[in-house]
Structure 1
């Protein structure tokens, strides 16, 4: 009797394999062969679910977006009216920083995709979506603090981008405690907060 495979579950398994390969060795290592080996599948099986390498990378980038959105949404659902707005903003903004192993992998994958999108038009729209998504969230967070300023929004997004980049490049020098402290300092320096 042939084994019944859930196609959505198999696609998720392959995308998870892409994440692991990219986080470990960069986007250049995310060949169909390497992803198939990581997923414990034959290359033909990977091709059955993803017609091309660009389609596979696009699916992985979209999954990264979905993960961050889900984490931010879960954080939003835990909010209570009596929560301190600055603490809420700090916690929500921290969802974009490598404060644990899962987020560190996501940041590494995000960086790989962002750099690849510079020259790969198939990833360009996702990179633009990520760029704009962070700015949208930053604007909403600042609204929560009573700061409605496009420059402050861009500044917060730039702080998060810079912290994420530097923590990914120098994790031994920029750990979670330092990331939180820098973010907290930035929020404390906002006018009117």
Structure 2
């Protein structure tokens, strides 16, 4: 019988290889050849799945977005609302090796999207998804009466939360913050906007 190849699994294998190359060597080192070598493939075999570097990068970032979103959707919270907010946001931030690699892939598109329309589209999807998550967080806190007194709209508060989360993540990726300092800064911000947040950590 002919060998059955799971093409989707092989594409996912390549996406993971892209993440490893970016995390170890930086996004500039991502190429058909470097990713093929990382995955243990030949360049010719990889080209059966992705013909250009941009296609390969876009797929890798889309998979990161999907993977993180799925984990957040599947989370089951047993603590307070405040703890659930903290855990949800940290799932998107580079607090350990796995999430560091995912964030490195996602934020690599900050520069790449400036010159490639396809990659700019993926970049927008990443930012739109994060803003949507932050908006759901703020709206949930507001509905529960847990937002500290404010005059800003929930949309503006969500934009600020998004800026804090992404800003801390970028500083961590750049090596300006340790994971512990990044988490401490997130906790400090949540303590400002959530009633009683500093009492539940």
TM-score (norm 1): 0.89
Shift of 1:2: 6.1
1:123 is aligned to: 119
Who is 2:77 aligned against? Answer: 79
Match of 2:101 among 94, 98, 105: 105
Once residues 71 and 178 of structure 1 are traced to their aligned partners in structure 2, the CA distance between those partners, rounded to angstroms, is 24
Structure 2 unaligned spans of 5+: 148-152, 197-201
1:188 aligned residue: 191
Is 1:89–1:144's contact at 8 Å kept on the other side of the alignment?
no
Describe the shift of the 1:37–1:191 C-alpha distance in structure 2 as closer, same or farther (beyond 3 A). closer
- Between Structure 1 and Structure 2, how many residues are aligned? 187
Gaps of 5+ in 1: none
User: RMSD of aligned C-alpha atoms?
Assistant: 1.8
Alignment partners' CA distance in 2, 1:74 and 1:183: 22
CA distance in 2, matches of 1:27, 1:123: 13
Runs of 4+ in 1 over 3 A off after TM superposition: 1-4
CA distance in 1, matches of 2:71, 2:178: 20
CA contact (8 A) 1:135 1:157 kept: yes
Instruction: Tell me the CA shift for residue 151 of structure 1.
Output: 1.4
| Aligned-partner Cα distance in 1 for 2:91–2:122 | 19
Q: Taking structure 2 as the reference length, what is the TM-score of the superposition?
A: 0.86
User: 1:8-157 counterparts in 2 under 5 A?
Assistant: 8-75=8-75, 78-80=76-78, 83-146=79-142, 147=147, 149-157=154-162
Higher percent of residues as helix: 1
